[in-house]
Amino acid sequence: MAFYTVLYQVAIIFLLMAAGFLILKIRLIDDATCAGATRMLMLMVSPVIIIYSFQITYSASLMHGLIVAALSAFAAHVLGIVLTELLFRRHPADARRRSALKYGTVYSNCGFIGIPLLTAVLGTKGVFYASVYIAVFNVFTWTHGVMVFTGKPDRKALRSLLLNPNLIAVAAGIIMFCLSIRIPRLVYDSMGYIFNLNTPLAMIIIGARMAQTDLRAIFTEKAVVPGMLLRNFLIPAAMLVLLRLCGVSGPLLLACLIPISCPVAGNTVLYSDLYGGDIGFATKFMSLSTVLSIVSVPAMVLLATLI
C-alpha cells in the first residue's frame, strides 16, 4: 500500500537527516561542504535524474499523464500565490520575514524530498512525472519567487532560468522520450548510480542545515504557523480534491500530489540570503515544516487512497 511505503520512506529520510545533523554537530563536515554538496545536487545529480527518468518507452498514456502533471503543478503554484497574497499582506509585520513566509508557503521541496518519495512509491515513472513539476517550480521560482523578495523582475534571474540545468534536462528528456532516443547502455547504467546518490546526499545535507539552527527556537516562532499549515496541509488537500474532481486517480494522482505535499523548499533560505530576507526566520520556517512533514506527507497519501 502506498501509505505504508511512504511512511517507511519518510522514516528512512529522517534517519538520513539525523545522520546529517550528527556529522555536522561533530564537525565531520562544515558549511562549505554543505554548500558544495548542494551545488552538486542541483547542477549535476538532479539533471541526471531527470534525463534518466525520461528513458522509458513512449506511449500516449504517459504523455497524457505528463500533461496532467504539468497542469497540476501550474495550478498548485497559482493557488499558493493567490492564498499568500490574500492572507499575508501584513503578516508578519516585518517585510523581510513576510517575503520568506510567502515564498516558503508557495514553493515545496519537490526535488530533494519529492524525488526520493516518488522513487520509493512509483519508481522511475514517478520521477518522470515529478520532472515536469520541477520544471514548473523553476519557472515560477525564478520569476514570481524573485519578485516576492525584490518587488520587481530580475533580468539576471531570468537569464538563470533559461540556463537552469534542470529545465534544460527536462527539455532534453522530453525530446528523447517523444523521439524514443536511447542513451548508450554504459552511460545509462552509470547514470543509475548517480540516481541512487540523490536520496542519501540530499537528506544528509538537509539534516546538516537543520543542525545549524536552534531547534528549540523553531517551536516558538508563531509567525510561521499559518504558512506551515498552508504548505503542509491546506494546499495539498485542496489540490487533492481538485485532482479527484478532474478524474485523476491511481499512480498519476500520487505522482501529482507528493511533490505538492512536500515541506518548505530549501530555496527559501537561499533566496532570503541572496535578496535580503530574514535568513533566521526562513531557516526556522523550513525546519519546522520539514519536521512536520513526517506526519503531513503520509497523511496526504493516506487521504488520497481513501477518496
Kindly state whether residue 307 falls inside one of the protein's structural domains: no
Residues in the chain predicted with pLDDT less than 70, given as ranges, are 1, 153-158, 160-161, 215, 217-218
Decide: helix, strand or coil at residue 108. strand
| Boundaries of domain holding 156 | 2-298
Per-residue cell: 199: 536520496
- Nearest 5 degrees, angle CA 232-CA 15-CA 252? 45
Is the preceding omega at residue 259 within 30 degrees of 0, hence cis? no
Residues with Cβ < 8 Å from 24, sequence gap 6 or more? 30, 34, 207, 208, 211, 212
What are the tens digits of pLDDT across the range 120-139? 888 888 888 888 898 899 88
Kindly state whether residue 305 falls inside one of the protein's structural domains: no
Return the CATH number at 84: 1.20.1530.20
Contact between residue 293 and residue 10 where contact means Cβ atoms under 8 Å apart:
yes
Provide the total of helices (H) and of strands (E) in the chain, helices listed first. 17, 0
Per-residue cell: 99: 517575503
Kindly state whether residue 262 falls inside one of the protein's structural domains: yes
Residue 153 and residue 61: Cα distance in Å, rounded? Answer: 37
Total domains in the fold of the chain: 1
Phi and psi of 223, rounded to 5°?
Answer: -65, -20
Per-residue model confidence (pLDDT) at position 241: 96
Kindly state whether residue 304 falls inside one of the protein's structural domains: no
Residues with Cβ < 8 Å from 34, sequence gap 6 or more? 24, 205, 208, 209
Kindly state whether residue 303 falls inside one of the protein's structural domains: no
Per-residue model confidence (pLDDT) at position 155: 67
pTM summary value: 0.88
Per-residue cell: 241: 480534491
Per-residue model confidence (pLDDT) at position 8: 84
Give the C-alpha distances (Å, rounded to integers) separating 158 from 41, 139, 146. Answer: 21, 9, 10
Kindly state whether residue 209 falls inside one of the protein's structural domains: yes
Phi and psi of 264, rounded to 5°?
Answer: -55, 135
DSSP letter string, 171-201: HHHHHHHHHT----HHHHHHHHHHHHHHHHH
Kindly state whether residue 77 falls inside one of the protein's structural domains: yes
Give the C-alpha distances (Å, rounded to integers) separating 27 from 39, 203, 207, 214. Answer: 20, 17, 13, 16
Give the C-alpha distances (Å, rounded to integers) separating 187 from 51, 183, 191, 238, 254. Answer: 11, 7, 6, 41, 30
